[in-house]
Amino acid sequence: MPTMLILHPYLLLLLVALTAFSSTPEAESTSGCPDSCGGIAIQYPFGIGAGCFRKGFELICDRSLDRPVLVGTTKPVPLNHLSIRTAEARVMLPVAWQCFNSSDLVYASSDGDVQFNREEVYRISNASNQLVVVGCNTLGYTQSQRSEGNDYDYGYYTGCMSYCNNSKSAMNGACAGVGCCRLDIPPGLTDNRMNFEAYTHKKRLGFSPCDYAFLVDRDNYTFHTADLKMETNTMMPVWLDWAIRDNMTCDDAKRRAESYACVSANSECRDSSNGFGYVCTCSMGYEGNPYIANGCTDINECESYQEYPCRGVCRNTLGSYECKCPSGSHSADPFNDPCNPNFPLAAKITIGAIGGFFIIAVAVFASLLAKEKRKMRDYFRKNGGPIIEEVNKIKLFKKKELEQTLKSSNRIGQGGFGEVYKGYLRDETQPVAVKKPKIDVKLAGQFVNEVIIQSRVLHKNIVKLIGCCLEVDVPILVYEYVPNGSLDRILHDSNRVPLNLDLRLQIAAQSAKGLAYMHSEITTPILHGDVKPANILLDEDFVPKISDFGTSRMITVDENYASTIIGNWGYMDPEYVLTGLYTSKSDVYSFGVVLLELFTRKKALDPDNNSILGNSLDTYSKKKRVIELVDPEIAAIGNTGVFHSLAEIIVQSLSTDIDQRPEMADVAERLQYLLK
Ligand SMILES: *[C@@H]1O[C@H](CO)[C@@H](O)[C@H](O)[C@H]1NC(C)=O
Ligand SMILES: *[C@@H]1O[C@H](CO)[C@@H](O)[C@H](O)[C@H]1NC(C)=O
Ligand SMILES: *[C@@H]1O[C@H](CO)[C@@H](O)[C@H](O)[C@H]1NC(C)=O
Ligand SMILES: *[C@@H]1O[C@H](CO)[C@@H](O)[C@H](O)[C@H]1NC(C)=O
Ligand SMILES: *[C@@H]1O[C@H](CO)[C@@H](O)[C@H](O)[C@H]1NC(C)=O
């Protein structure tokens, strides 16, 4: 350490009585104590007036300065900022200085010491202050914390040297050793006493007659060359760290309840970072004054978004707060990230679209269903449902009841007329044949009549109509099921069933009976319209049953009656083709062809036997021809008389002259006779 010129401190200009009161934690009742001075809030442990402060924290409100000032200082130390939360105070401290006269001697000086820290509650904040020396040939330094038993008297000596080569050397804004130097300070400094080395100022008196040294807010001082001649009573802002410095750490202090300063609920103790001692803080989520009872109050975080962010719905809790997204939205971090709807717009649109589509689909389906129902009702009415309903012999089937049967696996027949399915009705063991005609029914009224009539017909040689379904465009007819199939199949199938003469006569006679019954034994005669082996069905005992009575004609009825009636020209009455007039004799003609087929077992349209139907032959020739053609299977055993009679019936039935043809009843009778 170089030789020091230590200046005596100023005499105490203000004799401030040391506080006679020793404030205790119990005496912290601050009611009646001034809570501010000069706009500065004064809070315990600080206080103005007896009983208002903790020992060492007394302030006086200086009316002339309109500022609180520290107590016990040798010069007023105004306080212009006080924070309980950060345990900081900002005061104004005088600069230290020395000035030279023309003899190059220091004629006046000040070490700056104002004894602001008699109670040792303050430490000069190393974090917020710097030490600045202004001058053109000087070394300024501070010495602090007197300590015994070492080479030197203090624990700290720190400062810097400044020099100017000439009057132009110092620069504004530059405090780097030319006219001004500065340095960071260590923690623990307790006072502002400064010292200088007095180097010659002879050649600098003009622009730098004095040297200055001071502590200052590190953000609040910028060097100007004018400061080389600053006023000697200048004061600089300095930050002080204050603490409860009862020579105790938090651990010790807590054990001494009577002196422990952190008295508020929800308060905490923290060891001071600048000097021995501790400070109190409110616990997280609380704010206020931890040094007074119940001084720490809950922070309503929801009210200060800047400090306590929440992008969702904020809810304050004691010591904390909750932040949640409103229902229907979410965020990974609602405190910082905005809440997004659970269903983003795209999803909403999608769901809406799907939902909408679904609703539309349901609506469409419902309307289709309703339409279908309406259609079914319309068909039912159109097909004569209301009339047929009256007839209790006909069963009216619902479309649904037949759907099971109308499957391709149940189909037993198919042709120009439509399709036939074998099926079982609900609760019935007897099979039925369900006929689904292809062709539209135009004459619904006629259809209804004939269905009603046929339903009343009970004849063992006529396939029984059980009922019908009218809920469809073309009515579906349900008949009794006849197991042995059609005569056409029996006669012409590849594996020929043996048919003796008696059986053939029986089939012929009974078929004729059936036809005759319909022609003449019922009130309203019904013509078949399509007599052919395919329409003569055989039951298990080879009893013939004529099928499609009347209906085949009804169903095929249409504007082009003549041309569309029946596809089987081989069986069709040529007179009907010529005149367009269908009579019972037309059925007789067709039956004649059937008889011919039955006894010859040859197809009516075979090119071989076509000639027998030709008009050019006379009756006798035809008869002869028929006998020649008789199936060899029966020709051998049959007596010639029977064949002659048969040939006569056939030839008569096929006569081109309608009047020559016998009535159906006549045919039946004659065949029956032959059978006997
Ligand atoms: C300079 O100051 C010293 C000490 O105060 C004094 O002895 C001396 O006379 C002064 N010189 C002038 C020229 O004032
Ligand atoms: C002040 O002192 C404390 C304690 O030694 C230290 O942690 C901190 O870094 C110092 N601040 C500055 C700016 O030097
Ligand atoms: C120092 O001052 C002298 C006299 O004014 C001048 O001649 C010299 O150049 C200066 N040196 C520097 C480094 O500024
Ligand atoms: C320093 O502090 C004083 C008083 O608080 C203020 O008026 C001034 O602007 C500050 N200067 C700088 C450079 O921050
Ligand atoms: C502080 O405590 C230490 C040991 O705990 C003790 O030696 C010292 O004298 C105490 N100082 C004061 C001022 O109480």
- Indicate whether 446 and 556 sit together in one domain: no
Mean pLDDT of 148-171: 92
Residue 120 CA, chain-centre distance (Å), reads 67
Position 377 scores a pLDDT of 82
* φ, ψ of residue 381 in degrees (nearest 5): -70, -45
- Indicate whether 623 and 534 sit together in one domain: yes
What residue's CA is closest to ligand 1, atom 4? 107
What atom of ligand 4 comes closest to residue 237's alpha carbon? 2
Give the DSSP per-residue string, 363-410.
HHHHHHHHHHHHHHHHHHHHTTHHHHHH-TTSEEPPHHHHHTT-SGGG
Query: Measured in angstroms, how far is the CA atom of residue 164 from the centroid of ligand 3?
Result: 10
Least confident of 15-19, 203-207, 243-247: 15-19
* Coil, strand or helix at 349: helix
SS3 content of the chain, % helix, strand, coil (to 5): 30, 25, 45
Overall domain count for the chain? 4
Residue indicated by tokens 């006046």: 108
- Indicate whether 62 and 113 sit together in one domain: no
Name all residues whose Cβ lies below 6 A of ligand 2.
126-127, 184, 187, 273
Least confident of 333-347, 482-496, 544-558: 544-558
The answer to whether position 194 is within a domain reads: yes
CA quadruple 664, 666, 672, 675: dihedral, nearest 10: -100
Q: 95 and 230 in contact (C-beta within 8 Å)?
A: yes
Tell me the best of 165, 168, 169, 171 to mutate to test the pocket of ligand 3, counting ligand atoms within 8 Å of each CB and taking the most.
165
Position 569 scores a pLDDT of 65
Instruction: Kindly report the number of other CB atoms within 10 A of residue 280's CB atom.
Output: 26
Instruction: Kindly report the number of other CB atoms within 10 A of residue 385's CB atom.
Output: 21
Strands (E), 489-643: 536-538, 544-546
- Indicate whether 444 and 564 sit together in one domain: no
Query: Measured in angstroms, how far is the CA atom of residue 159 from the centroid of ligand 1?
Result: 27
- pLDDT category at 553 given cuts 50, 70, 90 is low
What residue's CA is closest to ligand 1, atom 11? 103
- Indicate whether 177 and 74 sit together in one domain: no
Position 550 scores a pLDDT of 61
User: Running DSSP on this structure, what letter comes out for residue 122?
Assistant: E
Q: Between 116 and 609, where is the model more confident?
A: 116
Mean pLDDT of 77-83: 94
What atom of ligand 2 comes closest to residue 273's alpha carbon? 4
- Given a cut of 80, is residue 563 above it in pLDDT? no
What atom of ligand 2 comes closest to residue 125's alpha carbon? 1
Q: Which ligand is nearest to the CA of 224?
A: 4
Query: Measured in angstroms, how far is the CA atom of residue 262 from the centroid of ligand 5?
Result: 21
- Indicate whether 203 and 223 sit together in one domain: yes
Q: Which string of b and e fits 136-160 if b means at least 16 CB within 10 Å?
A: bbbbbbbbbeeeeeeeeeeebeebb
C-alpha 393/C-alpha 39 separation (Å) is 113
Position 559 scores a pLDDT of 44
C-alpha 610/C-alpha 570 separation (Å) is 9
C-alpha 142/C-alpha 139 separation (Å) is 10
Looking at residue 664, which CATH number applies to its domain? 1.10.510.10
Q: Between 14 and 50, where is the model more confident?
A: 50
Q: Which ligand is nearest to the CA of 272?
A: 2
Query: Measured in angstroms, how far is the CA atom of residue 127 from the centroid of ligand 2?
Result: 6
C-alpha 226/C-alpha 238 separation (Å) is 21
* pLDDT tens digits along 437-468: 776 555 556 667 667 777 777 888 988 888 88
11-20, 490-499, 600-609, 656-665: which is most confident: 656-665
Host H or E run for residue 279? strand 278-282
Residue 224, ligand 4, Cβ within 6 A = no
- Indicate whether 107 and 207 sit together in one domain: yes
Residue 173, ligand 4, Cβ within 6 A = no
Residue 674 CA, chain-centre distance (Å), reads 87
Q: Which two tokens stand for residue 315?
A: 């809810």
Q: Which of 173, 207, 242 is the last residue before a domain boundary?
A: 242
Mean pLDDT of 399-410: 83
Q: Which ligand is nearest to the CA of 188?
A: 2
Task: Output the known binding site.
Answer: 436
C-alpha 467/C-alpha 478 separation (Å) is 5
C-alpha 671/C-alpha 676 separation (Å) is 9
Relative to beta strand 129-134, strand 79-83 is unpaired
Position 378 scores a pLDDT of 82
Query: Measured in angstroms, how far is the CA atom of residue 222 from the centroid of ligand 3?
Result: 25
Instruction: Kindly report the number of other CB atoms within 10 A of residue 475's CB atom.
Output: 27
Query: Measured in angstroms, how far is the CA atom of residue 665 from the centroid of ligand 5?
Result: 148
User: Which residues neighbour 82 within 8 Å (Cβ) at sequence distance 6 or greater?
Assistant: 40, 41, 42, 43, 46, 68, 88, 89, 90
Among candidate residues 248, 288, 250, the one with its CA nearest the CA of residue 271: 250
For helices 664-675 and 640-653, angle between their N-to-C axes, nearest 10 degrees? 170
- Indicate whether 75 and 124 sit together in one domain: no
Q: Which ligand is nearest to the CA of 201?
A: 1
The answer to whether position 10 is within a domain reads: no
What residue's CA is closest to ligand 3, atom 13? 165
Position 555 scores a pLDDT of 46
Position 237 scores a pLDDT of 97
- Indicate whether 461 and 580 sit together in one domain: no
Query: Measured in angstroms, how far is the CA atom of residue 129 from the centroid of ligand 5?
Result: 28
Looking at residue 417, which CATH number applies to its domain? 3.30.200.20
Position 22 scores a pLDDT of 35
- pLDDT category at 638 given cuts 50, 70, 90 is low
Query: Measured in angstroms, how far is the CA atom of residue 107 from the centroid of ligand 1?
Result: 6
Position 554 scores a pLDDT of 53
Q: Domain of residue 449: give its range.
A: 385-480
List helix spans (H) across 171-261: 250-255
Residue 76, ligand 4, Cβ within 6 A = no
Residue indicated by tokens 């038993």: 149
C-alpha 431/C-alpha 624 separation (Å) is 44
Tell me the best of 98, 105, 106, 205 to mutate to test the pocket of ligand 1, counting ligand atoms within 8 Å of each CB and taking the most.
105
Q: Which ligand is nearest to the CA of 100?
A: 1
- Given a cut of 60, is residue 18 above it in pLDDT? no
- Indicate whether 32 and 172 sit together in one domain: no
CA quadruple 219, 96, 70, 122: dihedral, nearest 10: 60
What atom of ligand 4 comes closest to residue 80's alpha carbon? 5
Position 637 scores a pLDDT of 74
What residue's CA is closest to ligand 2, atom 11? 127
The answer to whether position 108 is within a domain reads: yes
- Given a cut of 70, is residue 105 above it in pLDDT? yes
Task: Output the known binding site for ATP.
Answer: 436
- Indicate whether 60 and 128 sit together in one domain: no
Mean pLDDT of 292-299: 92
* Coil, strand or helix at 485: coil
- Indicate whether 496 and 540 sit together in one domain: yes
Q: 266 and 319 in contact (C-beta within 8 Å)?
A: yes
Instruction: Kindly report the number of other CB atoms within 10 A of residue 20's CB atom.
Output: 6
User: Which residues neighbour 308 within 8 Å (Cβ) at sequence distance 6 or greater?
Assistant: 299, 301, 302, 314, 321
Residue 247, ligand 3, Cβ within 6 A = no
Least confident of 174-183, 360-369, 593-602: 360-369
Residue 209, ligand 4, Cβ within 6 A = no
Q: Which of 221, 242, 263 is the last residue before a domain boundary?
A: 242
Query: Measured in angstroms, how far is the CA atom of residue 452 from the centroid of ligand 3?
Result: 141
The answer to whether position 285 is within a domain reads: no
Residue 429, ligand 3, Cβ within 6 A = no
Residue 220, ligand 4, Cβ within 6 A = yes
CA 90 to each of CA 124, 239, 420: distance values in angstroms, whole numbers, following the listed order: 10, 4, 111
Position 606 scores a pLDDT of 63
The answer to whether position 442 is within a domain reads: yes
Q: Between 313 and 564, where is the model more confident?
A: 313
The answer to whether position 117 is within a domain reads: yes
Host H or E run for residue 475? none
Sign of CA dihedral 505, 506, 508, 509: positive
Residue 168, ligand 3, Cβ within 6 A = no
User: Which residues neighbour 266 within 8 Å (Cβ) at sequence distance 6 or greater?
Assistant: 282, 283, 285, 286, 296, 298, 319
* pLDDT tens digits along 133-159: 999 999 999 999 888 888 888 999 999
The answer to whether position 298 is within a domain reads: no
* pLDDT tens digits along 501-536: 888 999 999 999 998 998 888 877 778 888 888 889
The answer to whether position 406 is within a domain reads: yes
Catalytic residue set:
530
Q: Which of 185, 212, 242 is the last residue before a domain boundary?
A: 242
Host H or E run for residue 333? none
Tell me the best of 184, 273, 279 to mutate to test the pocket of ligand 2, counting ligand atoms within 8 Å of each CB and taking the most.
273
What atom of ligand 1 comes closest to residue 108's alpha carbon? 5
Position 3 scores a pLDDT of 43
C-alpha 26/C-alpha 43 separation (Å) is 16
If you average pLDDT over every residue of the chain, what do you get? 83
C-alpha 441/C-alpha 380 separation (Å) is 13
Tell me the best of 166, 168, 207 to mutate to test the pocket of ligand 3, counting ligand atoms within 8 Å of each CB and taking the most.
166
* pLDDT tens digits along 274-291: 999 999 999 999 999 999
Position 267 scores a pLDDT of 93
Residue 219, ligand 4, Cβ within 6 A = yes
